[in-house]
Amino acid sequence: MSKSEKPESDQSMKSLVIAEKPSVARDLCKVLGGKFQKFDEYFENDDYVVTSAVGHIVELFMPEDYDKRDAFWRLANLPLVPPTFKLKPIERTNTKYKAVKKLINRKDIETVINACDAGREGELIFSYLYKLTKCKKPVKRLWMLSMTPASIKAAFKSMRSGEEMQNLADAAQSRSEADWLIGINCTRGVTKRLYGSRAGNVAGVGRVQTPTLAIVVKREREIEQFKPREYWRIVVDFEISNGGYQGIYQKPKFKKSDDEHDRKDRLWTEEESKVVMEALSRNSEANVSEEKKKSTQAAARLYDLTTLQREANNRFGFSARRTLQIAQALYEKHKMITYPRTDSKALPEDYPETCRTTLENLEGRLEGVARKVVSNNWIVPSNKRVFNNKQISDHFAIIPTPEKTKKLSEDEEKIFDMIARRFIAIFYPSAEFAITTRINEVESHIFKTDGKVLVAPGWMEVYGKSSSDAPTEGTLPALSDADGNPAQSKIESSESIHEETRPPARYTEATLLSAMEGAGKFVEDDELAEAMKDSGLGTPATRATIIERLIAERYMERDHRNLAPTPKAENLLDFLAAIKAEALTKPGLTGEWEQKLHQIENGELDRKSFMKEIVTMTEEIVNGIKSYEETEDDLDPTDFVSPYSGEALFESLRSYRTLDNSFAVYKIIGNRKMSKEEIRELLEKKRVGPLDDFRSKNGKHYSAYLNLDDETKRIKFDFGNGDSDSGAIDFTQLTPFAKCPRTGGDVYETANAYVVRVVEGEEEKTPIRVSRKILDREIPQEQMIKLLETGKTDLLQKFWSKRTKRPFDAYLVLKDSGQTKFEFPPRAPKKAAKKVAKKVAKKVAKKKAS
């Protein structure tokens, strides 16, 4: 008999239990007891048949499923609003759907038990499956927040009826259908308006992905528009009998303001700096006072998925998707951690004993610190930072399981170590510090120094810290009687440091995940912000997918660890603003939906009313997309003029053009946003370049010149002919910018390289060729000239290693062959070595003086 066939048995009625994941189905069988027989797709005993989905196995119809003609995207067909939303099996999991449907239809199945995850998405998975199979059998809901045996048994004793869960199912279905309406209609409509019939161009729009993109674009525009401001910081070296330390000038009566760049140690005029420096020059000593206090720091809370992804990105450079893949492998394949797709940082209140067992089973380098928790009875069931049912939704925090350690890959080991150490550390006592704040005063000017010493490592012991090897960098030399009463310090030296404010940093995956999680702070309406407090943009399970989708759709690209929006992203947001559909770009839409979905869950709002609002909103946005036409009122005047007619050019949504549109220069050329300076040069000289960072359709970067063709009055790419090492270069199209002191030849800049050209009679040679960009680092013209003159550039920063994916600094050195090589600067001595050297120098100086 095949394992897929059911054995002959009596026809006593049974309950079919449908879990969300196979691992949960196995756990349920262990708790239900009775001898379960295993088949290909399910387990069975005398009372229960237990099976599972694999997440979502049913989805909504696509437009072409209703009408084959809608496989073609046409503006005229929009909006697409099905009178009734229909369901179909997801193609890749169709086998699983058929297996579950077969079990549902078995004659001996009397009741269907929904054991999917406790939450909106779990309810949707079951609800769609139940509807598509046209099942009419009674439903019971198993609502589990914990997977301990005791919790599972309690859940089976207090199952809810299907009717009790209807509001939650309505909310889940409403969210799914609303996302379909907005996503399908807006994506098709915007794509047709922006790209027409050009193949391969899709302008994806969605309730979550578009506001996420807007956050990244807003930051990029802040960086572009940023104007640096000068400021001065004053640093003084003080000396007492036990050693030296630095003090930083502090402005008097400083108060935080709306100026995000203002700091207590920043002076905004050089005159203010000079006043303080003059006071220092008049004095050789400062009055010293200090305040000492103790401080404690508790361990970080347990990981939810977003926090794990953020920290893995910061520590190892892992993308959010990569971290999730590793965590899924640790959960599914190795069974060494709990379910990772969670937004909770707490554990169920019945979990202390499971935690004890887990700690006892941890092995290897974690064994000692884990056993210490158990032997000291540091697991406190009343600790609400750890055990708190109110802070658990569908799932609880990510922790190790009691399973024995398996052989892991290097990346799996890194993520497991993060999770295990965070789990162990949460039970340890707080770390204790002694903090000293020392004030040096010179003519009422205050200079502050902070010292921090680890007294008791507490949870830091889990990460290898101990009080015996406490860091000394933050340790201040102690005051003594030799410094007088009141104490005084000597002013050894002082410096006024001139600096500039910096623009905000681009988002990394870590900071973007934080922004998505805390998107409520971008919402002005307090009620909507409150509705988003526990959700943000997307869910922990979907945020990584959203980021990857934005990259796949060419809205963003990875610039090493940073995320940079592409011109396509700015184009989309500008168009949505033009058609007055900014709601799609703001997190407030998600907040509004969450608020209403919660009302549906609580029975305070009718599902039909919500969906009617969504249909109306969809129709209004689609009408705006279809009816938008740019008029003269939408055009902004510029100081650009047409090189052919002399007519003024106006700035439109996508170009700089004449009023009659007889001549235009697009803002985005070759998937690259043109600056106004580049447009101006192109119009005046009919040629600009070489320019970098054009992008092909597959995302590959390339360089080129842009020429205005007099015949067509259109822009053409010029790749400088010699685009490869062996390519022939038409030097008649290029102008040399320097003479080569080595060869006497002319130095040219092509689209991709600096080339030295030597002409001897009728023979032409190019003995030296240096790429304009090496390992993502542009080589400026002045450095090329220095390379030819001296054989070596200045120290150039931020070459990016292909092997380590990290930046490095190096000199470029010109070899006799005309090729270049790297020369690395000597490594800087470690800080400890510097301090020792400084102390030795001072001792020598004192001996000489005596």
577 pLDDT higher than 80: yes
- The residue count of the chain comes to 850
**pLDDT tens digits, one per residue of 735-792:** 888 999 888 889 988 888 898 988 888 788 888 888 888 888 889 999 999 999 999 9
CA distance 309 to 540: 9
**pLDDT range class, residue 9, cuts 50, 70, 90:** very low
Give the per-residue pLDDT at 848: 45
Could you tell me which of 769, 755, 748, 773 has the C-alpha nearest to residue 691? 773
338 pLDDT higher than 90: no
CA dihedral 617, 622, 624, 625 (to 10 degrees): 150
Would you tell me how many other CB atoms lie within 10 Å of the CB of residue 298?
14
Contact 453, 434 (CB under 8 A): yes
Contact 105, 45 (CB under 8 A): no
Q: How do strand 807-814 and strand 796-800 relate by DSSP bridges?
A: antiparallel
CA distance 728 to 769: 13
Whole-number Cα distances in Å, 371 to 48, 168, 358, 417, 426: 40, 43, 10, 16, 14
Phi, psi of 201 (to 5 degrees): -105, 115
**pLDDT tens digits, one per residue of 274-323:** 999 999 999 999 999 999 999 999 999 999 999 999 999 999 989 999 99
pLDDT-above-70 percentage for the chain: 92
Give the per-residue pLDDT at 195: 84
The pLDDT of 184-205, averaged and rounded, is: 86
Strands (E), 603-729: 636-641, 648-651, 655-657, 664-666, 668-669, 672-673, 687-695, 701-709, 714-718
The pLDDT of 356-375, averaged and rounded, is: 94
The pLDDT of 817-827, averaged and rounded, is: 86
Contact 611, 178 (CB under 8 A): yes
CA distance 253 to 469: 38
CA dihedral 351, 356, 360, 364 (to 10 degrees): 70
CA distance 312 to 506: 18
Give the per-residue pLDDT at 816: 84
Could you tell me which of 629, 627, 620 has the C-alpha nearest to residue 79? 620
82 pLDDT higher than 80: yes
Averaged pLDDT score across all residues of the chain: 87
Whole-number Cα distances in Å, 635 to 78, 570, 650, 655: 28, 18, 6, 10
| Helix 120-132 vs helix 166-195: crossing angle, to nearest 10 | 90
The pLDDT of 799-812, averaged and rounded, is: 82
What DSSP assignment string belongs to 286-300? EEEEEEEEEEEEPPP
Helix (H) or strand (E) holding 29: helix 22-32
Give the per-residue pLDDT at 126: 96
Which residues are paired to 715 by β-bridges? Answer: 708
Q: How many degrees, rounded to 5, is the angle at CA 653 between CA 651 and CA 658?
A: 40
561 pLDDT higher than 90: no
**pLDDT tens digits, one per residue of 210-240:** 999 999 999 999 999 999 999 999 999 999 9
Q: Which of 83-92, 126-135, 555-564, 721-730 has the lowest mean pLDDT?
A: 721-730
**Sign of the CA dihedral running 478, 484, 487, 488:** negative
Q: Which of 373-382, 730-739, 834-843 has the lowest mean pLDDT?
A: 834-843
Contact 308, 345 (CB under 8 A): no
**pLDDT tens digits, one per residue of 637-688:** 999 999 988 899 998 888 899 988 889 999 888 888 888 899 999 998 888 8
Q: Is 245 a catalytic residue?
A: no
Give the per-residue pLDDT at 830: 53
Contact 521, 529 (CB under 8 A): yes
Give the per-residue pLDDT at 833: 45
Could you tell me which of 221, 223, 189 has the C-alpha nearest to residue 203? 189
The pTM score is 0.81
Q: How do strand 14-19 and strand 109-115 relate by DSSP bridges?
A: parallel
Helix (H) or strand (E) holding 311: helix 305-316
Give the per-residue pLDDT at 535: 67
What DSSP assignment string belongs to 453-489? EEEE-GGGGGGT--GGG--STTPPPPP-GGGTTTTEE
Q: Which of 42, 97, 245, 339 is catalytic?
A: 339
The pLDDT of 624-628, averaged and rounded, is: 90
The pLDDT of 336-349, averaged and rounded, is: 89
Burial class (CB in 10 A: 0-12, 13-18, 19+), 431: buried
Q: What share of the chain is helix, strand, coil (3-state, %, to 5)?
A: 40, 25, 40
Contact 165, 115 (CB under 8 A): no
| DSSP designation for 367 | H
The token duo for 776 is 């993502």
